[in-house]
Amino acid sequence: MTSHIMPTYQRLPVTFARGQGAWLWDDNNNRYLDALSGIAVCNLGHAHPAVHKAICAQSEKLLHTSNIYGIAVQEQLADKLIEKSGMDNVFFSNSGAEANEAAIKLARKYGHERGIDSPAIIVMEKSFHGRTMATLSATGNAKVQQGFAPLVTGFVRVPYNDIPAIEQAISDNNNIVAILVEPIQGEGGVNIPADDYLNQIRALCDEHELLMMLDEIQTGIGRTGEFLCFQHNGIIPDVCTLAKALGNGVPIGACLARGKAATILTAGNHGSTFGGNLLACSAALAVLATLDAENLIEQAELKGQQIAKALSRILQKNTHIVDIRHKGLMIGIELDKPCAELVTLALHKRLLINVTNEKTIRLLPPLVIDAEQIQQLIDTLAALIQEYTRSAVN
Ligand SMILES: *Cc1c(COP(=O)(O)O)cnc(C)c1O
């Protein structure tokens, strides 16, 4: 049968019908272990009762009004995000790209208010910020940009995890107003920068009065063992974007701002019909409450440690493993050759994984993954990698 979906995704030959925690069942009732969480979206696992209850209860009362009226659950969610992040206020969107669009507009207006007519934002090689025109222009991946010129201007690109390159870009260009960076690059290959990278960026932004803007769309909401990844560093950015796991599958994004960044966007500057609507905000409130109630952020730290350690031990003699790196439950296993086929091989073993930047296996299991599932993940994946590197890579 021909599909009438525009073919923007290369889809794996499986269709899921239901889920529970880290399990998914396909339409033939085969059970799979989900070590990807819909790409860092379902951090609480599938069909979490707290999210289910919240959206059912909200849908009985009211789904949508408009941002031209007060919205109590939106206020509550903003309060909670501010309390947990140390930021000052929030703009709600429906996706990650839209959260980043808000950040980019905010940075440009910040520049204009400082008399800079053509503001520029420093962005990184191998970054990913979304698929809208501005965010794909900010993204450091030629494949994402291919065919869509003319790109949005006003981005200056430097290598990731390279502080001298940022210093050089700042001294070369008087129009720099902000630095936009992922605390860990997800799509770019689970690239974890030096421990003090964010601290150094914070210091440079302070020195040159630039906005430090962190894209925490993949790293946020407990994934790395802190609520937000920057909290490992004891710093606070000026702008921080969230989406993915914020609604555990209900679409919602957020652009958080602090201090001077919190007063830039004013009435008429930005908006969204659906952004921060009652359904999405009630889901996100349930997500934040559950992270605390089930102690899931600490578990991300412990479980990530356990998985990475076990894989390192089992694969220590495998010379095709370049690196195993992780922060919490954001895990990358880099091989010495392209290994995209592993996704299909894992699917045959009823395990859902991902390969990014061609050579890096990416694991983003739900934070609720249990001990038995962790063992199954380790055993299945390690065996698969051993088998694959013995045959295909050589
Ligand atoms: C997924 C992602 C985005 C884009 O989010 P969408 O909701 O798909 O628009 C942006 N930045 C990062 C770091 C992401 O992982």
pLDDT, tens digit, 9 for 90 and up, residues 138-173: 999 999 999 999 999 999 999 999 999 999 999 999
Q: Is residue 309 part of a domain?
A: yes
Calpha distance 295→293 (Å, rounded): 6
Q: Is residue 162 part of a domain?
A: yes
Looking at 264, 293, 322, the residue that finishes a domain is: 293
> Helices 371-391 and 296-314: crossing angle, nearest 10°?
30
249-262: average pLDDT: 98
Q: Which residue has the tokens 């990416």?
A: 362
Q: Is residue 73 domain-shared with residue 156, that is, in the same domain? A: yes
Strand partners, 330: 327
Measured between alpha carbons, how far is residue 170 from residues 38, 266, 288 in Å? 37, 28, 37
Q: Is residue 5 part of a domain?
A: no
Looking at 258, 293, 328, the residue that finishes a domain is: 293
Atom of ligand 1 nearest to the CA of 187: 15
Q: Is residue 327 part of a domain?
A: yes
- Domain total for the chain? 2
Residue 334, φ and ψ in degrees, nearest 5: -95, 125
Q: Is residue 225 domain-shared with residue 363, that is, in the same domain? A: no
Confidence label for 38 from pLDDT (cuts 50, 70 and 90)? very high
Q: Which residues, including other chains, have CB under 8 Å from residue 76's CB and lie 6 or more apart? A: 281, 285
Domain that holds residue 212: 50-293
Distance 31 CA to ligand 1 centre (A): 28
Q: Is residue 181 domain-shared with residue 243, that is, in the same domain? A: yes
Q: Which residues, including other chains, have CB under 8 Å from residue 314's CB and lie 6 or more apart? A: 378, 382, 386
Q: Which residue has the tokens 């990807």?
A: 36
| Helix (H), strand (E) at residue 388 | helix 371-391
Q: Is residue 337 part of a domain?
A: yes
Q: Is residue 69 domain-shared with residue 114, that is, in the same domain? A: yes
Q: Is residue 180 domain-shared with residue 286, that is, in the same domain? A: yes
Residue 9, φ and ψ in degrees, nearest 5: -120, 140
**Tens digit of each residue's pLDDT (9 = 90 or more) over 353-382:** 999 999 999 999 999 999 999 999 999 999
195-209: average pLDDT: 98
Calpha distance 137→7 (Å, rounded): 22
Question: Candidates 9, 128, 190: which one to mutate for ligand 1, based on the most atoms within 8 Å of Cβ?
Answer: 128
Residues taking part in catalysis: 128, 215, 244
Q: For atom 10 of ligand 1, which residue has the closest CA?
A: 129
Q: Which residues, including other chains, have CB under 8 Å from residue 106's CB and lie 6 or more apart? A: 211, 239, 255, 257, 261, 264, 265
Q: Is residue 143 domain-shared with residue 258, that is, in the same domain? A: yes
Instruction: Report angle CA 352, 355, 356 to the nearest 5 degrees.
Output: 140
Atom of ligand 1 nearest to the CA of 216: 13
Instruction: Specify whether the CB–CB gap between 265 and 99 falls below 8 A.
Output: no
Distance 150 CA to ligand 1 centre (A): 22
Distance 219 CA to ligand 1 centre (A): 10
Distance 316 CA to ligand 1 centre (A): 33
Question: Candidates 8, 218, 272: which one to mutate for ligand 1, based on the most atoms within 8 Å of Cβ?
Answer: 218
Residue type at position 49: P
Instruction: Specify whether the CB–CB gap between 282 and 55 falls below 8 A.
Output: yes
Q: Which residue has the tokens 């260009």?
A: 173
**Tens digit of each residue's pLDDT (9 = 90 or more) over 283-294:** 999 999 999 999
In angstroms, the first-to-last Cα distance of the chain is 38
| The two three-digit tokens of residue 70, written as one number | 């007060």
Q: Is residue 145 domain-shared with residue 270, that is, in the same domain? A: yes
Atom of ligand 1 nearest to the CA of 95: 7
Instruction: Specify whether the CB–CB gap between 258 and 87 falls below 8 A.
Output: yes
Percent of the chain with pLDDT over 90: 98
Q: Is residue 112 domain-shared with residue 261, that is, in the same domain? A: yes
Name which of 287, 275, 291 is nearest 247 in CA terms: 287
Q: Is residue 206 domain-shared with residue 344, that is, in the same domain? A: no
**Tens digit of each residue's pLDDT (9 = 90 or more) over 65-90:** 999 999 999 999 999 999 999 999 99
Calpha distance 212→180 (Å, rounded): 7
Q: Find the CATH number of the domain harbouring 71.
A: 3.40.640.10
Question: What is the chain's mean pLDDT, rounded?
Answer: 97
Q: Find the CATH number of the domain harbouring 337.
A: 3.90.1150.10
Q: Is residue 203 domain-shared with residue 183, that is, in the same domain? A: yes
Whether the per-residue pLDDT at 332 is higher than 60: the answer is yes
326-341: average pLDDT: 98
Q: Is residue 367 part of a domain?
A: yes
49 upstream amide cis, omega within 30 of 0: no
Residue 64, φ and ψ in degrees, nearest 5: -155, 140
Confidence label for 392 from pLDDT (cuts 50, 70 and 90)? low
Whether the per-residue pLDDT at 394 is higher than 70: the answer is no
Pocket (CB within 6 angstroms of ligand 1): 95-97, 100, 128-130, 182, 186-187, 215, 217-218, 243-244
299-307: average pLDDT: 98
Confidence label for 198 from pLDDT (cuts 50, 70 and 90)? very high
pLDDT given for residue 391 in this prediction: 84
pLDDT given for residue 1 in this prediction: 75
Looking at 293, 313, 334, the residue that finishes a domain is: 293
Atom of ligand 1 nearest to the CA of 182: 13
Q: Is residue 143 domain-shared with residue 166, that is, in the same domain? A: yes
Q: For atom 15 of ligand 1, which residue has the closest CA?
A: 218
Q: Is residue 304 part of a domain?
A: yes
Name which of 65, 43, 116, 100 is nearest 287 in CA terms: 43
pLDDT given for residue 393 in this prediction: 46
Measured between alpha carbons, how far is residue 235 from residues 72, 156, 251 in Å? 30, 24, 28
As separate numbers, helices (DSSP H) first and strands (DSSP E) second, the chain gives 12, 15
Distance 217 CA to ligand 1 centre (A): 6
Q: Which residue has the tokens 């009438």?
A: 4
Give the strand pairing for 321-327 and 16-20. Answer: unpaired
| Helix (H), strand (E) at residue 96 | helix 96-113
Q: Is residue 39 part of a domain?
A: no
Residue type at position 220: G
Q: Is residue 127 domain-shared with residue 217, that is, in the same domain? A: yes
